[in-house]
Chain A
Amino acid sequence: MAGKTLYDKLWDDHVVHRNPDGAVLLYIDRHLVHEVTSPQAFEGLKIAGRPVWRVDSMLATADHNVPTTDRSQGIQDVVSRIQVETLDANCRDFGVVEFGMNDPRQGIVHVIGPEQGATLPGMTVVCGDSHTATHGAFGALAFGIGTSEVEHVMATQCLVQHRMKNMLVRVNGRLSPGVTAKDLILAIIGRIGTAGATGYAIEFGGEGIHALSMEGRMTVCNMAIEAGARSGMVAVDDVTIEYLADRPYSPKGAMFERAVKAWRTLHSDPDAVFDQVVELDASRLAPQVTWGTSPEMVLDVDGMIPDPQQEPDPTRREGIERALIYMDLKPGMRPADIKLDRVFIGSCTNSRIEDLRAAAEVVRGRTVAPSVRQAMVVPGSGLIKRQAEQEGLDRIFVDAGFEWREPGCSMCLAMNADRLGPGEHCASTSNRNFEGRQGHGGRTHLVSPPMAAAAAVAGHFVDSRQYSTTV
Chain B
Amino acid sequence: MEAFTQHRGRVVPLDRANVDTDAIIPKQFLKSVKRTGFGESLFHAWRYLSPSEEHGEHRLNPDFVLNHPHHQGASILLARQNFGCGSSREHAVWALGEAGFRVVIAPSYSEIFFSNCFKNGLLPIVLDENMVDQLFQQVEALRGYELMVDLEARQIETHHGQRIPFEINEFHRTCLLEGLDEIGLTLQHRDEIEAYEARRQEQAPWLFHGPAEAAE
Contact = CB atoms under 8 A, between A and B. Distances in A.
Say if A and B assemble together.
yes
A273 interface: no
Contacts of B192: 16-17, 25
Contacts of B32: 39, 79, 83
Interface stretch (B4-12, B137-145, B156-164, B207-215): B207-215
Interface in B76-94: 80-82, 85-91, 93
Contact of B112 (A50, A151, A156, A230): A230
A436 B212 contact: no
Contacts of B31: 36, 65, 77, 79-80, 82-83, 415
A97 interface: yes
A146 B86 CA distance: 12
Interface stretch (A179-187, A247-255, A383-391, A460-468): A247-255
Contacts of A55: 210, 212
B92 to A, nearest CB: 9
Contacts, number: 220
A294 B16 CA distance: 13
Contact of A130 (B51, B88, B204, B212): B88
A42 B176 CA distance: 23
Interface residues on A, range: 35 or more
Contact of B189 (A25, A57, A151, A259): A25
Interface in B165-216: 169-171, 182-183, 185-187, 189, 192-193, 196-197, 200, 203-215
B16 A97 contact: no
Interface in B1-43: 16-18, 20, 22-23, 26-28, 30-35
Contacts of A64: 30
Contacts of B196: 16, 27
A208 B20 CA distance: 31
Contacts of B169: 21-23, 162
Nearest to A124: B207
A58 B203 CA distance: 21
B111 interface: yes
A129 interface: yes
Contact of B116 (A148, A151, A198): A148
B202 to A, nearest CB: 12
B206 A149 contact: no
B72 interface: no
A130 B108 contact: no
A428 interface: no
Contacts of B45: 435-436, 440
Contact of A432 (B17, B86, B93, B193): B86
Interface in A183-213: 194-195, 198-199
A452 B189 CA distance: 50
Given A145-B88, A149-B119, A56 B183 contact: no
Contacts of B82: 194-195, 198, 228
Nearest to B210: A56
Nearest to B119: A148
A257 B154 CA distance: 53
B24 to A, nearest CB: 11
Contacts of B20: 432, 434
Among A77, A255, A413, chain B packs the most CB atoms within 10 A around the CB of: A413
A338 interface: no
Contacts of B119: 146, 148-149
Contact of B205 (A116, A118, A255): A255
Nearest to B80: A315
B67 interface: no
B79 to A, nearest CB: 11
B185 to A, nearest CB: 8
A67 B45 CA distance: 24
A158 B53 contact: no
Given A23-B171, A55-B212, A156 B28 contact: no
A420 B206 CA distance: 44
B16 A322 contact: yes
B186 A146 contact: no
A439 B189 CA distance: 45
Nearest to A322: B16
Contact of A434 (B86, B108, B187, B208): B86
A95 B210 CA distance: 12
A241 interface: no
Interface of B: 16-18, 20, 22-23, 26-28, 30-35, 45, 51-53, 80-82, 85-91, 93, 108, 110-112, 115-116, 119-120, 169-171, 182-183, 185-187, 189, 192-193, 196-197, 200, 203-215
Interface of A: 16-17, 19, 21-23, 25, 27, 29-30, 36-37, 39-40, 43, 48, 50, 53-59, 64-65, 77, 79-80, 82-83, 86, 95-97, 116, 118, 120, 122-123, 128-130, 144-149, 151-152, 155-158, 160, 162, 194-195, 198-199, 225, 228, 230, 248-251, 255-256, 258-259, 262, 294, 315-316, 318-319, 322, 413-415, 419, 432, 434-437, 439-440
10 A-B pairs closest in CB distance: A56-B210, A148-B119, A39-B33, A56-B212, A146-B90, A251-B206, A146-B116, A21-B170, A97-B211, A130-B88
Given A55-B212, A158-B189, 7 more contacts: A16-B192, A19-B171, A23-B169, A36-B30, A80-B31, A97-B215, A440-B45
9 contacts: A36-B31, A40-B35, A129-B88, A130-B112, A149-B116, A160-B182, A322-B16, A413-B87, A415-B28
